[in-house]
């Protein structure tokens, strides 16, 4: 997304700016780099002083071991399925609701919108106890639908799409389509979706990342030895009863982080563009 260069005042960066930003970049990347380093040594070497600073030769062994030990492969598939479904449905339902809030007149609009915003403040801890009861009643403990279903909609997404469509979608476009005799679903498909696509992409990415990294509820609903997502499997690796091999733990961390880092490396420009174009602002 093109950023308006005229807005604001942009000084040319001096050397100090580059030094400070370089430092910030170093701090951002170092823990990830060291994750790779630790995943390439033996468990004994990782906890030996001083800790290694350069990659070692055991990355492949550790990957094979971690992959088989807690079935990171299954966890990877589970996480992809969960995050994909959650992102898809959140984007779809948020766009529909956001469109209604932004462009359609109806009774109760302001009250319902205020309700949506208010729900953003409810901490997830509040729903965990009844949700746990529901999934035990339904026999869904350790099944993926128990983490997918509660996350299919998000108030944040509705608000996000509303803010975007408020400015991006001219109301005349909707009116024109209606005069042409398009019925509601056609308007959604041919007018709203094309206009909303950039914001839908950014929202999809944000929700996907959030769902991929979600911890509290999956940790309760799933078990590391049963049918875990990556984060749950990882928590199992890090807090097992047996003596912990830290190199294997960090190899698990690497496996869980790498797919998202790859996505960021490929699409980071668009994600960042979407955020800084103001789509996420209040």
Residues 38-77 that bind another protein (CB under 8 A): 38, 46-51, 53
Look-up: residue for tokens 């009116």? 175
Which residue, 133 or 197, is less far from another protein as judged by CB?
133
Residues 153-192 that bind another protein (CB under 8 A): 153, 155, 158, 178, 181, 183-184, 188
Which residue, 12 or 60, is less far from another protein as judged by CB?
12
Q: In 199-225, which positions are buried (b, 16+ CB within 10 angstroms) versus exposed (e)?
A: bbbbbbbbbbbbbbbbeebbbbbbebe
Among the residue ranges 65-73, 105-113, 162-170, 195-203, the one whose residues contact another protein (CB under 8 A): 105-113
Q: What distance in Å separates the CA atoms of residue 97 and residue 90, rounded to the nearest whole number?
A: 10
**By CB under 8 A, residue 122 contacts another protein:** yes
**By CB under 8 A, residue 130 contacts another protein:** yes
Q: How far is the CB of 215 from another protein (least distance, A)?
A: 4
Q: How far is the CB of 60 from another protein (least distance, A)?
A: 20
- Which residue in the set 76, 83, 116, 207 belongs to the binding site for another protein (CB under 8 A)? 116
| H-assigned helices in 39-124 | 43-46, 59-69, 72-103, 109-119
- Which residue in the set 77, 104, 166, 176 belongs to the binding site for another protein (CB under 8 A)? 104
Q: Residue 148's CB: how many other CB atoms inside 10 A?
A: 17
**By CB under 8 A, residue 141 contacts another protein:** no
Residue 254 tokens, joined: 């690497």
**By CB under 8 A, residue 4 contacts another protein:** yes
Q: How far is the CB of 227 from another protein (least distance, A)?
A: 17
Residue 201 tokens, joined: 């992409």
Nearest to 82, CA basis, from 158, 155, 154, 149: 149
Q: How far is the CB of 229 from another protein (least distance, A)?
A: 10
Q: Residues 6 or more apart from 83 whose CB is under 8 A from it?
A: 208, 211, 212
Q: How far is the CB of 202 from another protein (least distance, A)?
A: 12
**By CB under 8 A, residue 24 contacts another protein:** yes
Residue 153 tokens, joined: 């909609």
The secondary structure of residue 144, as a DSSP letter, is T
Residues 251-270 that bind another protein (CB under 8 A): 253-254, 256-257, 260-261, 263-265, 268-269
For residue 191, count CB atoms less than 10 angstroms from its CB and return exposed for 0-12, middle for 13-18, buried for 19 or more: buried
Look-up: residue for tokens 């100090």? 16
- Which residue in the set 94, 163, 227, 245 belongs to the binding site for another protein (CB under 8 A)? 94
Q: How far is the CB of 276 from another protein (least distance, A)?
A: 5
Q: What distance in Å separates the CA atoms of residue 92 and residue 97, rounded to the nearest whole number?
A: 9
- Which residue in the set 100, 144, 177, 203 belongs to the binding site for another protein (CB under 8 A)? 100
């Amino acid at each position: 997304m093109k950023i308006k260069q005229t807005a604001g005042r942009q000084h040319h960066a001096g050397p100090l700016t580059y030094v400070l930003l370089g430092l910030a970049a170093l701090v951002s990347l170092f823990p990830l780099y060291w994750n790779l380093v630790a995943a390439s040594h033996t468990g004994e070497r990782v906890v030996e002083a001083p800790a290694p600073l350069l990659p070692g030769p055991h990355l492949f062994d550790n990957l094979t071991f971690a992959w088989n030990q807690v079935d990171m492969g299954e966890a990877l598939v589970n996480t992809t399925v969960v995050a994909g479904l959650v992102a898809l449905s959140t984007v779809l339902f948020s766009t529909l609701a956001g469109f209604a809030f932004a462009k359609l007149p109806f009774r109760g609009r302001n009250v319902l919108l205020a309700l949506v915003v208010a729900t953003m403040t409810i901490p997830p801890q509040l729903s965990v106890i009844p949700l746990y009861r529901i999934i035990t009643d339904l026999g869904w403990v350790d099944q993926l639908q128990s983490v997918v279903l509660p996350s299919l909609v998000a108030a944040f997404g509705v608000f996000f799409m509303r803010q975007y469509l408020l400015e991006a979608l001219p109301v005349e476009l909707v009116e024109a389509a209606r005069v042409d005799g398009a019925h509601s679903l056609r308007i959604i498909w041919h007018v709203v979706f094309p206009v909303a696509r950039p914001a839908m992409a950014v929202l999809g990415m944000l929700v996907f990342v959030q769902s991929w990294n979600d911890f509290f509820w999956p940790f309760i609903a799933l078990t590391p030895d049963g049918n875990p997502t990556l984060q749950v499997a990882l928590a199992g690796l890090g807090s097992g009863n047996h003596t912990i091999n830290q190199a294997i733990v960090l190899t698990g961390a690497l496996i869980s982080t790498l797919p998202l880092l790859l996505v960021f490396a490929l699409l980071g420009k668009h994600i960042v563009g979407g955020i800084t174009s103001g789509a996420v602002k209040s």
